[in-house]
Chains A and B, each alone.
Chain A
Amino acid sequence: MVKYFKDILLGFWTIMVGMKITMDHLFQKKVTMQYPERFDPIDTGFMPDNSRNKLFVDIDDCNGCGGCERDCPVNCITVETVKTVPSDGPITIKSGAKRTLWVLKHEIDYSKCCFCSLCVESCATSAIFHTKEFDYSGYDRNELKHDFVSYSDEEKQKKLDNFVAYQIVKKQEDAAKKAADEAAKAAAAQITK
């Protein structure tokens, strides 16, 4: 019987304590950060430096090695390249090394990317890195694909054509060289005989 009344009193008391707590919080300062109007995580320094947001590729720095494409666990990077030809002249990437590949396409599909940062780790030239941009929702899934190469189609075609033309030239050169080599070999054999 005593326990019964004790329980009732205890229950009543705990409800009172709970109500006091909520009443305290009613007048406390609110902790909400109002994102679009009054809270910008970048300006307020709320965004940690190592936060992993949207990826960016500095295409002038990318030598087209395809390391990121190979290392991406979800295969959401597509890199297409074509070799440079001697007629392009001496070209370098931003960091000074010689460019041997033109990057025709470097596309990241953010709708698949899991922001693991492995591509960033694997890039030898640090061309690919995380930016601080995070609010890029789209109305269409294809809006989330981004191609970082800004060449126009003609330019790309020209680069491909250049390469094909150079291949033909090179083949002819090779054939001529081979013929010359063989002739020289034959001549040498003649002499030794």
Chain B
Amino acid sequence: MGNFVFDLIGKNIVAALVICIIPLVFILPYALIAILGELKIGAWMQDRVGPMRTGWKGVLQPVAEVVKLLQKEDITPTIANKPLFNLAPFIVFIGAFAAFAVLPFSEKFIPSGINLGLFFVFAVGSFAVIGIVMGGWASNNKYSLLGAMRSVAQIISYELPAGMVFLSIATIAGTLDMQTIILNQSGPIWNWYIFGGPQGGAIKFLFIPFFVILFIVYLISSLAETNRTPFDIPEGESEIVAGYHTEYSGMKFAMFFMAEYANMYVVSAIIVILFLGGWSSPFGTSFMDGPIWGIFWMVGKAFFFVFVQIWLRWTLPRLRVDQLMYLGWKVLLPLSIACFMAIAFLAMIN
């Protein structure tokens, strides 16, 4: 197992640097594509055409945006706490980028195959909220602070169901290592955890509803963790100007922006790894399988969930804070605990 870069260059510092850079090289084009997708899909869903005048049918719109953001004045408010204000966007971005360290792209490319992968993702996932609170508080603006507080409340409420989902999958897979989780699911399509996983024989089909519920629970909590609509109350334009990034301009705002899109990929990839077999092909091991196809399946499935996030964004209105709390504490948490118990039972009888 492991890493084709190590196979090629050997285990040395150059190889380590190359491995660090590959996800970064992936994030930048991905962010451009995702931004274009966001604009275009949003427009199409509203019967509009979206950006049309930048390049062919507007495909260069994200590039123009980057060129524009590079030139914008970088404002630091005088009454802001400057070191924290300047650090916050980088912390948010590092939080998103650090998760890429353990996200496998294919059998042959896993930046770091640590056997606590799930736990690591969960830990750095909460990193972003530190950056958000830091930025919100350091801006010295009441709207920023309100946005940051909302973000904290939201992430604390939704980490619990997400944690229960991780726990359930870890229980049934018997490991926290992402590679092993994916390898468990290789083979035919019903080995995927959304269809109950590879174990258990016929009895596992009784448990499929629980897996599906867990899948939906994680989909919802991941939206909340990335601050995407319908859970974008930390930056709700209609209430608190732009939430925690009200005072940010130019490249610092672009960092927040990029972190959001990087986070979208991270949570989509985790959905794919936990429930949809990661890099394994839906046609079993014989057809379109292998390390190269692995990249295709992994990224393709993750992109589908990025699309789902965009789709949800342009469908649903923003939740109110009390509805958010109701959904998190009274619906998702009990459901996920119930499913966890059922799945623990399934793991026990195996």
Contacts and interface: CB of A to CB of B under 8 A. Distances in A.
A6 interface: no
Contacts of A26: 41, 44-45
A25 B44 contact: yes
Given A18-B316, A19-B312, A22-B315, A31 B47 contact: yes
Interface string B26-53: 0000000000000001001111110010
- Residue among A18, A23, A29 having the largest count of chain B Cβ atoms under 10 Å: A18
A8 interface: yes
A8 B49 CA distance: 35
Tell me what chain A mostly uses at the interface: helix, strand, loop, or mixed.
helix
Contacts of A22: 45, 311, 314-315
A47 to B, nearest CB: 22
B49 A25 contact: no
A19 B46 contact: no
Interface string A5-38: 0001000100100110111011111111010000
Interface string A78-104: 000000000000000000000000000
Contacts of A19: 311-312, 315
User: 4 closest Cβ contacts across the A-B interface?
Assistant: A22-B45, A22-B315, A32-B49, A18-B315
Contacts, number: 36
Contacts of B203: none
Contacts of B44: 25-27, 30
Interface size class of A (residues with CB under 8 A): 10 to 19
Contacts of A30: 44, 47-49
Contacts of B41: 26
A29 B47 CA distance: 7
Interface in B36-84: 41, 44-49, 52
Nearest to B332: A8
B331 interface: yes
Interface residues of B, number: 15
Nearest to A33: B49
Contacts of B311: 19, 22-23
B304 to A, nearest CB: 13
A8 B47 contact: no
26 contacts: A8-B331, A15-B315, A15-B316, A18-B316, A19-B312, A19-B315, A22-B45, A22-B311, A22-B315, A23-B311, A25-B44, A25-B45, A25-B46, A25-B47, A26-B41, A26-B44, A26-B45, A29-B47, A30-B47, A30-B48, A30-B49, A31-B48, A32-B48, A32-B49, A34-B49, A34-B52
A16 to B, nearest CB: 10
B47 A32 contact: yes
B328 to A, nearest CB: 13
B271 to A, nearest CB: 17
Contacts of A29: 47
Interface in B178-214: none
Interface string B302-329: 0000000001101110000000000000
B48 to A, nearest CB: 5
Nearest to A18: B315
A26 B41 CA distance: 7
- Residue among A22, A25, A30, A31 having the largest count of chain B Cβ atoms under 10 Å: A22
A7 to B, nearest CB: 9
A28 B312 CA distance: 18
Nearest to B335: A8
B268 to A, nearest CB: 17
A12 B220 CA distance: 11
Contacts of B45: 22, 25-26
Contacts of B314: 22
B150 to A, nearest CB: 21
A21 B311 CA distance: 11
A177 B222 CA distance: 102
A27 B311 CA distance: 13
Nearest to B230: A15
A22 B312 CA distance: 9
B145 to A, nearest CB: 31
Given A26-B41, A31-B48, 17 more contacts: A8-B331, A15-B315, A19-B312, A19-B315, A21-B315, A22-B311, A23-B311, A25-B46, A25-B47, A26-B44, A27-B44, A30-B49, A31-B47, A32-B48, A32-B49, A34-B49, A34-B52
Nearest to B44: A26
Interface string A173-188: 0000000000000000
